[in-house]
């Protein structure tokens, strides 16, 4: 598992779980945020969590699939 998104109320804590996860985060966030990101101190909203999961999985990272982040079918 390279990145984990842990539920924190309506938001999600972004936790890198491997060197690949940290490297991916470094390519997507400014350097002043890297320390907080590497320590798992960043919380994102649901929409951003979904975007991060999609983008990271497209890059080949292994993520924890959260049922609460599964796309809701449109009626």
Packed helices 46-58 and 19-28: angle between N→C axes, nearest 10 degrees? 110
pLDDT tens digit sequence for 26-67: 999 999 998 999 999 999 998 999 899 999 999 999 988 665
Check: CB of residue 1 under 8 Å from CB of residue 39: no
pLDDT at 66: 63
pLDDT at position 74 over 50: no
State the pTM of this model.
Answer: 0.76
- For residues 50 and 37, what is the distance between their CA atoms, to the nearest angstrom? 17
pLDDT at position 72 over 50: no
pLDDT tens digit sequence for 6-28: 988 889 999 999 999 999 999 99
In the chain, what are the domain boundaries?
A: 3-65
């Amino acid at each position: 598992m390279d990145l984990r998104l842990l539920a924190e109320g309506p938001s999600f804590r972004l936790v890198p779980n491997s060197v690949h996860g940290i490297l991916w985060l470094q390519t997507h966030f400014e350097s002043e945020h890297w320390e907080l990101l590497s320590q798992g101190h960043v919380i994102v909203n649901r929409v951003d969590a979904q975007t991060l999961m999609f983008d990271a999985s497209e890059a080949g990272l292994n993520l924890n699939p959260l049922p609460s982040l599964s796309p809701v079918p449109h009626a």
